[in-house]
Amino acid sequence: MKTRRSWIVGLAIVGVMFCLSSVQASTGDTYLDLGQKKLEVKHGLTKEAAACVECHAKKTPGIVESWKLGKMGHASVSCYDCHVVDKANPMASQCEGTKGTKTYISPMVSSKTCERCHPTEVEQFSKSGHAYLAGKPVLENKAMDGLMYHNEGGEFIGVDRSEGRNRASREAGCAMCHGGQVELGPDNKPINGTWPGGVGHRYPDGGIGNCTVCHTRHQFSVAEARKPEACASCHLGPDHPNIEIYLESKHGQIYEAHGEEWEWDSAPDTWEPGDYTAPTCATCHMSGIGELSVTHNVNERLKWDLVHKRSVVRSGERGDGEKGEQLMKKVCMNCHGETHVDGQRQMLQNTVDLYNTYWDKIVEMKKVLADKKLLKADQWKDPFQELEYYFWHHAGRRARHGTAMNGPDYTHWHGFFQLFQIYKDIEDIYNMRLETGKIEELSPVMSTGPL
């Protein structure tokens, strides 16, 4: 007990010094702001803040041990700073240790809490596809509603929407990557499997975003977020195999061969080639490199929308594609010459053009079938529409992402090679329907189709 207490006092002193020195050392407004705000939120470990740590070191040692390893733990940003809320906060409740006191806590912590000390990161993040747009398919998109509850939730086999099992796929699948909306019970604790959630999770305090998806709690490490593994829990699989593509690219090869020797912990905007010899996901999409600064807006450096049915240059809520093109080229130019980079950009243009050409033909065929009433209402019982889905959502994304991130196996074997085959099957079904004037009774695609 005694040793633990002196450790805490020591930590508090180191924390205050650390915080003051980082305020002085930095010229950026963020850090000045951060210092002032930190003083407001009662910094150093007050008696109350120390009490949380002390008891939790016994009750939930795993949490305290990770917290101690992180920079915020060192700077004595503690449980109290992130988990204590006003009694009036919609998420306010009490834990065993605060019952009967005037202190209220919440196990939920949204980006609103981080915003107090990291306003720039939260502002950039909020403008990205990782925030509001990520939760939208789960919460607001009607077509996805049908997919999640009716098909995957089993309504079509008689499962009622009010049942827990109807939510299984959405709550343990979609929402764990995309995020959803926290629903609260009478004690202000989350219910219905709506917490925790993915990157764009929405909280009762109005905050959008779960920062722990890349900086896992309670270490909140920048080094971790710079590694490709930080993105891999979501960016994988048949429909967006970004980690698979990365690991097969030359960049991934170098990461696997030499990553252990790289310097991962440099200060923001000083993590530069030399600390590493090939880029990770973060280097290209987020980190400061050369004249570019760190950004939490992952859309900033993108030209194309490679995720939806037809690829277009990004605009509006999806970013500014022309600007994105310039920024992404600047990333590559730190390590490649212009001839190399222009060649890569042209390859991506060609891939997008070929993919779109196929796609436009499928859209034309579908229109003819719709006019002739030769489409089934249930897309999942209609082979033409099932194949159309696999075409754009699986193989089509793989081909586009493969070229964008330099994974030839995904451009070709998992991409265009499958695309032309799916296309030919779609064409056969189209011709057969026009000839017979009928829709086949049994789907030849059956269950999973071409993965």
Site for ligand HEC in 311-350 (CB under 6 A): 318, 325, 328, 331-332, 334-336, 341, 344, 348
Please give the structure tokens belonging to residue 41.
Answer: 């939120």
Stretch that binds ligand HEC, among 95-103, 362-370, 371-379, 428-436 (CB under 6 A): 95-103
Q: Which is nearer to ligand HEC, 250 or 310 (CB)?
A: 250
Stretch that binds ligand HEC, among 3-11, 145-153, 370-378, 426-434 (CB under 6 A): 145-153
Smallest gap, in angstroms, from Cβ of residue 437 to ligand HEC? Answer: 34
Smallest gap, in angstroms, from Cβ of residue 442 to ligand HEC? Answer: 26
> Is 133 a binder of ligand HEC (CB under 6 A)?
yes
Smallest gap, in angstroms, from Cβ of residue 421 to ligand HEC? Answer: 22
Smallest gap, in angstroms, from Cβ of residue 343 to ligand HEC? Answer: 8
> Is 189 a binder of ligand HEC (CB under 6 A)?
yes
Please give the structure tokens belonging to residue 184.
Answer: 């609260």
- What are the phi and psi torsion angles at 277 (to 5°)? -115, -5
Site residues for ligand HEC, 148-177, by CB under 6 A, read 148, 152, 173-174, 177
Q: What's the full length of the chain, in residues?
A: 451
397 close to 422: Cβ distance less than 8 angstroms: no
Please give the structure tokens belonging to residue 328.
Answer: 């992404």
**Widest distance between CA atoms in the chain:** 86
Smallest gap, in angstroms, from Cβ of residue 312 to ligand HEC? Answer: 10
Q: Give the binding-site size for ligand HEC (rule: CB under 6 A).
A: 132
Cα distance between residue 173 and residue 135, in whole Å: 13
Site residues for ligand HEC, 33-62, by CB under 6 A, read 34, 38, 41, 48, 51-53, 55-56, 59-60
Find where tokens 């991934």 sit: 252
Number of helices and strands in the chain (H, E)? 23, 4
| Stretch 191-230: interaction string toward ligand HEC, x if CB under 6 A | -----x-xx---------xxxxxxx-xx-xxx--xx-x-x
> Is 433 a binder of ligand HEC (CB under 6 A)?
no
Smallest gap, in angstroms, from Cβ of residue 384 to ligand HEC? Answer: 21
Residue 373: burial class (beta carbons within 10 Å; 0-12, 13-18, 19+): exposed
Task: For residue 37, give the nearest of 86, 89, 92, 75 by alpha carbon.
Answer: 75
Smallest gap, in angstroms, from Cβ of residue 193 to ligand HEC? Answer: 13
Smallest gap, in angstroms, from Cβ of residue 262 to ligand HEC? Answer: 10
Cα distance between residue 112 and residue 104, in whole Å: 17
Q: Which is nearer to ligand HEC, 155 or 428 (CB)?
A: 155
> Is 127 a binder of ligand HEC (CB under 6 A)?
no
Site residues for ligand HEC, 65-94, by CB under 6 A, read 67, 71-72, 75, 77-84
Residue 153: burial class (beta carbons within 10 Å; 0-12, 13-18, 19+): buried
Stretch that binds ligand HEC, among 270-278, 368-376, 414-422, 438-446 (CB under 6 A): 270-278
Site residues for ligand HEC, 289-308, by CB under 6 A, read 294, 296, 298-299, 302-307
119 close to 219: Cβ distance less than 8 angstroms: no
DSSP letter (8 states) at residue 210: -
- What are the phi and psi torsion angles at 409 (to 5°)? -65, -35
151 close to 169: Cβ distance less than 8 angstroms: no
Q: Which is nearer to ligand HEC, 130 or 394 (CB)?
A: 130
Site residues for ligand HEC, 369-398, by CB under 6 A, read none
Stretch that binds ligand HEC, among 129-137, 371-379, 382-390, 410-418 (CB under 6 A): 129-137
**Residue in 240, 398, 414, 433 binding ligand HEC, rule: CB under 6 A:** 240
Q: Which is nearer to ligand HEC, 210 or 443 (CB)?
A: 210
**Residue in 16, 42, 63, 159 binding ligand HEC, rule: CB under 6 A:** 63
> Is 11 a binder of ligand HEC (CB under 6 A)?
no
Q: Which is nearer to ligand HEC, 195 or 430 (CB)?
A: 195
Cα distance between residue 147 and residue 151, in whole Å: 5
What are the CA-CA distances from residue 103 to residues 80, 93, 307, 435 (Å)? 10, 9, 46, 74
DSSP codes joined into one string, 72-89: HHHTT--HHHHHEE-TTS
Instruction: Tell how strand 104-105 and strand 84-85 pair up.
Output: antiparallel
